[in-house]
Structure 1
Amino acid sequence: MVRILMCSSSLKVKGGMVSVVKNYLNYPHWEGVKIKYVPTHIEANKFVLMAYFAVACIRILWLALCERPDVAHLHVAERGSFYRKAFLLRALRRLGIRVILHHHGAEFERFYNSLSPKGKQYVNKILRMADLNIVLSRRLVSMITDKAPKAKVQVLYNAVYAPPANPYDIKADNVLFLGRLGHRKGVYDLLEAIRRTDKDLPEGVKFLLCGDGEAEEVSRKAKALGIEHRIAHVGWSDGKQKEDFMKQSMINVLPSYNEGLPMAILETMAQGIPNISTSIASIPEVLHDGKNAFLIRPGDVDALCRCLLKLVGDEDLRMAFSRKSYGLIKEAFSLDANIHKLKELYADMKDNAQ
């Protein structure tokens, strides 16, 4: 039995990293692996957050001393998330616990470049200290090795559950946006594209803008642009509502400026929903322009308009993209394959520690 101590945010926190963790914790076939999960972060003011993290640290150190996990699997982003996990990594390594840093941060490079030389040295030291750094794609390996050439790195793509058969409804007439509402995810570019294409879109096409963040500002902007009649939802959606929205959607649009490997893209692909996104980060490793999706440059609203109108108006193309997207998820990004590889990594780390 391999004993794992896993740490990330509270499962009530919104975002892709927590979606990955939920997939892991809900997976039914962890034979040979026992996971103890301790959340280290909540969405709160800094004083509550500091107190929450302090209590989590006490619990983690108690588990490390009393239950002696074989591996600590720490999910990490940038800024505060990195420093919290760095503190835990150093403490756990001193206790002889092997540590994985599983990197999810879409803005890690921006965070790193903002640091002083001393701050960069500290980050480099933490990357080297980890027994293993997991990144979400091949492109992101250099994100670690350029800073810490001796750091150990493995690629483990995000993965999702895919239903037994492609559930895509070719007659669906909604366009979906799944992501934090704000500039980084390109939601304001999407609003402008809706304004420009409004007169050319079929009357029944509505847009579902699903995410936390700047919901009030997005609603005000939609009103100012005169496109309120096109907006069917603004705000966070999860659980049954999110499932229903995906069933009703013919396209997912995510015109992001910074990303890792967005769970929103994988989740919609698993439902057979064609995507329009940007050719950044790891996205081109799963979305292949003109084959299973359309890719544009960040900020290119003209291209976004063209792709949106083309996909909305061409059922055959949407169906072709749907089949290829769903097939790729089943073949290469299934949760079964992801966890099989993760089990192997855990076992290797345990064996190498003995």
Structure 2
Amino acid sequence: MKKIIMIGTSFDTMGGISAVVNVYRSAGLFERYPVEYIATHCDGSAFAKLRMAVSALGRFLVLLCSGRVGLLHMHVSSRASFWRKMPFFLLATLCRRPTIVHVHSGAFHLFYERCGGVGKALIRHVFDRASRVVVLSEMWKEWVHSISRNGHVVAIYNPVMLPPLHTRDEAAQGSTVLMLGRLGKPKGTYDLLEAARGVCDEFPSMQLALGGDGEHDKVVAAAAQMGIGSHVHLLGWITGGDKEQALRNARIYVLPSYNEGLPMSVLEAMAAGLPVISTPVGGIPEAISEGVEGFLVPPGDVALLTQRLRLLLANAPLAHSMGLAGRAKIERQFSAAAIVPHIEALYRALGAQPGSTAP
């Protein structure tokens, strides 16, 4: 029996790929199509990661040699994630199996530029030879076209599940500002701390909730140095019910990143009915229209970030209306019901059929 082999990080790891794949599972994709998921990476020690990568490649070889691989769908980020999955791609193309290269990294262009000539050639080889290259936005589609001659590059947004929409009181005094992601400069964490410092005097009840891994100690030290330590709370990496609760408790979602693909956290915040302040990078401008579902601030513009944060803290009706607009946009364009059919159409175009075997 031939299968669609999907490879990526394990279901319970931190990061966007696992979040996307888990939405596919929740939306029933693995039940409708003959998908076998092979995890190539996990959180933990270097030995644990190596063991999983070797085991995954061995499993793939067994399936390939037994003629059970009909299609390879590989989710890649940059750096080690890309190189780790290249052997799967090379083996699949050698055996003339169709391949989908699904690129998630928000900094893949930087990864490519930092590679030497051989590295760049290998990346272009993968993009050129893939049956389909899937990217997260039209901006990323244009970038792939700038380095690859592949005519089969498609933009498919990340999907999110729609949670129940909890009623938010427009006049509520709650002022929790939430950010989810890897804490550090690339995500704009320190810019957000500066903005929080700029509004604390005017909004003394403002609380900044930061959920994610990364530079915890440095963030705590920076907040203390700015005199806002009592306003900053580190949630750690949160998932499931803890994440849902954090979204319900928040009034505003902020992600002032310097590079992104299409961050799941922004889509999840919009699905939860939160107004969003983010940056016009990657696919974010395709999710957020300036002044409609939230605001877009140039990366590093702390003054404007502070101004937009102050505006939403001061104007509860505006925050509420933006949150409702974001929720409506998710339903139309980014919900699992809207996005997963595009993945299924991709599978059918490469010969797979629901409820049957892959080619």
What CA deviation, in whole Å up to 9, does each residue of 1:275-307 have, x standing for no partner? Answer: 001111211111111111111110011101100
How many equivalent pairs are there?
A: 353
What CA deviation, in whole Å up to 9, does each residue of 1:219-254 have, x standing for no partner? Answer: 121112111121133422112111111000010000
Contact 1:2 1:346 in 2 (8 A): no
The match for 1:113 is 113
Query: Is residue 2:211 matched to residue 1:187?
Result: no
The offset of 1:31, in angstroms, is 5.6
The offset of 1:12, in angstroms, is 2.4
The match for 2:299 is 298
The match for 2:232 is 231
- Matched residue SS, 1:288: coil
Question: Any stretches of 5+ residues in structure 1 without a counterpart?
Answer: none
Amino acid at match of 1:104: H
Amino acid at match of 1:81: S
Query: Is residue 2:241 matched to residue 1:240?
Result: yes
Contact 1:129 1:151 in 2 (8 A): no
Cα distance 1:46–1:223, how it changes in 2: closer, same or farther (>3 A)?
A: same
- Matched residue SS, 1:280: coil
Q: Distance between the aligned counterparts of 2:31 and 2:302, measured in 1?
A: 48
- Matched residue SS, 2:39: strand
Q: Distance between the aligned counterparts of 1:266 and 1:168, measured in 2?
A: 18
Contact 1:179 1:211 in 2 (8 A): yes
Of 185-194 and 229-238, more deviation after overlay is shown by 229-238
TM-score normalised per structure 2: 0.93
More relative contact order, 1 or 2 (CA 8 Å, 6+ apart): 2
Contact 2:24 2:30 in 1 (8 A): no
Identity among equivalent positions (%) equals 33
TM-score normalised per structure 1: 0.94
Q: Distance between the aligned counterparts of 1:2 and 1:106, measured in 2?
A: 33
The offset of 1:47, in angstroms, is 4.3
Contact 1:275 1:293 in 2 (8 A): yes
Q: Distance between the aligned counterparts of 1:333 and 1:2, measured in 2?
A: 30
Amino acid at match of 1:23: V
- Matched residue SS, 2:68: coil
Match among 196, 199, 203 for residue 198 of structure 2: 196
The match for 1:319 is 320
The offset of 1:166, in angstroms, is 5.9
Q: Distance between the aligned counterparts of 1:32 and 1:254, measured in 2?
A: 35
The match for 2:94 is 94
Q: Distance between the aligned counterparts of 1:59 and 1:167, measured in 2?
A: 47
Of 34-43 and 2-11, more deviation after overlay is shown by 2-11
Q: Distance between the aligned counterparts of 2:235 and 2:220, measured in 1?
A: 7
Cα distance 1:342–1:197, how it changes in 2: closer, same or farther (>3 A)?
A: same
Query: Considering only aligned residues, what root-mean-square deviation do their CA atoms show, in Å?
Result: 2.0
- Matched residue SS, 1:264: helix
Of 25-34 and 69-78, more deviation after overlay is shown by 25-34
The match for 1:308 is 309
The match for 1:258 is 259
What CA deviation, in whole Å up to 9, does each residue of 1:317-339 have, x standing for no partner? Answer: 11110111000000111101211
The offset of 1:115, in angstroms, is 1.3
The offset of 1:167, in angstroms, is 4.8
Amino acid at match of 1:138: E
